[in-house]
Structure 1
Amino acid sequence: MPVAIITGASKGFGRAFAAALAGRGWDLVLDARSGAVLRETAEELEKYGTRVAALPGDVTDAAHRADLVAAARGLGGLDLLVNNASALGAEPLVRLDALPLEGLRRALEVNVVAALGLTQEALPLLRAAPAGAVVALSSDASAEAYETWGGYGASKAALDQLSAVLAVEEPGLRVWAVDPGDMRTDLYQAAVPLDDDGHRPPPESVVPAFLRLLDERPDSGRYAAPSLLEAL
């Protein structure tokens, strides 16, 4: 069975994508900071008959990243790495003149440094896979100037650039940076708690766009989930 590592997998998009892969028979290594919620997620996914290694921890911890890759190795290898875990930098979001520098450092550490660190750790297994792939969760804030989204957007822009360079350096892999579009998630609520996001689609609605990438394996690059969904 193919194996995927998904960070930030206890809820939101990470959990929705993990469920979709479990339904397709994938084995999973899941990460989240909340052990209780992560265990609940793992128990639900195991009902599909898939093997699930649930490792609570912080992706900024090098030992935790090594444990995630070791768990994948124990399941037989690694076919897909999904760098989904994200930090906002401030909750709720604030303008740049009020953004705590420590918050910006945290966003960069989680969204960029840890993502690269986990990718580096995983590369030997990904290179050995018949169809290794890396997915980086991007954002339209990485390309557009939205008030209060500067720190988070800057971190996602850096992640986009790392993904683009990784694709050049690792031509045997597929490396996709994907803007999922609007979703109703806890992350968005933490970012803009006063915004009514009832009209935003649930994370499950964008999962088919990511599955399309796995099925069709287009060239490495940056994609927007809404555009992928339009062609379905």
Structure 2
Amino acid sequence: MPVAIITGASKGLGRALGAALAERGWDLVLDARTAGALKEAAAELSAYGTRVEALVGDVTDAGHRAELVAAARGLGGVDLLVNNASALGAEPLVRLEGLPLEGLRRALEVNVVAPLGLVQEALPLLRASGVGAVIDVSSDAAAEAYGTWGGYGASKAALDQLSAVLAVEEPGLRVWAVDPGDMATDLYAAAVPDDDDPRPTPAGVVPAFLRLLDERPASGRYGAPSLLEGR
């Protein structure tokens, strides 16, 4: 069975994508910082009959990243790495003049440094897979200038660039930076708590990610709305 590592997998997009892959028979290595939520997610996904390894920890910890890859190796390898865990830098989001520099450092560590560290750790197994793929969850804030989204957007823009360079350096892999769009998640609610507009659920966005896995288009940056529309 194929094996995926998904970070930030206890809720939101990570959990929804994990459920979709489990339904397809994928074995999973799940990461999150909250033990209770991760245990619940693992139990739910194990019900599909797939093997699930759930490791509590912080992706900024090199030792934790090594444990994630070791767990995947124990399941047979790594066919897909999903860098989904994210940090905003400030909750709620604030203008750059008030952005705590420590918060920006946290966003960069979680959204840029940790994904690269996990790629480095998993790269031999991704290469050996023959169908290895990396999905880096991005944001439209990486490409557009939105007030208060500067720190988070800068970190996602850096992640996009790392994805693009990795694709050039590793032509045997598929490397997709994916903007899922605004979703009804705890992360979005923390970013903009006063926004009452309805947003798509993570489960509603997952088919865009599955299309990438099914069709394996060229490495690059993709938007979930376009993938869902079939463009």
Bin the TM-score by the shorter chain.
Answer: over 0.9
Q: Secondary structure at the match of 1:42?
A: helix
* 1:103-134 residue CA offsets vs partner (Å, 9 max, x unmatched): 00000000000000000000000000020000
5+ residue gaps, structure 2: none
* 1:89-111 residue CA offsets vs partner (Å, 9 max, x unmatched): 00000000000000000000000
What corresponds to 1:135 in structure 2? 135
Q: Distance in 2 between matches of 1:29 and 1:43?
A: 13
What corresponds to 2:213 in structure 1? 214
What corresponds to 1:18 in structure 2? 18
TM-score normalized by the length of structure 2: 0.99
| Correspondence 1:1-232 to 2 at 5 A | 1-197=1-197, 199-231=198-230
Q: Distance in 1 between matches of 2:40 and 2:203?
A: 18
Q: Distance in 1 between matches of 2:136 and 2:87?
A: 14
Q: Distance in 2 between matches of 1:168 and 1:101?
A: 32
Q: Secondary structure at the match of 2:207?
A: helix
* 1:59-112 residue CA offsets vs partner (Å, 9 max, x unmatched): 000000000000000000010000000000000000000000000000000000
Q: Secondary structure at the match of 1:160?
A: helix
Q: CA deviation at 1:29?
A: 0.1
Q: Distance in 1 between matches of 2:178 and 2:6?
A: 14
Q: Distance in 2 between matches of 1:179 and 1:202?
A: 14
Q: Distance in 1 between matches of 2:88 and 2:172?
A: 32
Q: Distance in 1 between matches of 2:71 and 2:60?
A: 17
Q: Secondary structure at the match of 2:135?
A: strand
Letter in 2 for 1:209: A
The CA RMSD over aligned residues, in Å, is: 0.7
The ranges of structure 1 where at least 4 consecutive aligned residues each deviate by more than 3 angstroms after the TM superposition are none
Q: CA deviation at 1:195?
A: 1.2
TM-score normalized by the length of structure 1: 0.99
Q: CA deviation at 1:194?
A: 1.3
Q: Percent identity?
A: 82
Letter in 1 for 2:114: A
Letter in 1 for 2:172: G
Letter in 1 for 2:166: L
Q: Distance in 1 between matches of 2:105 and 2:130?
A: 36
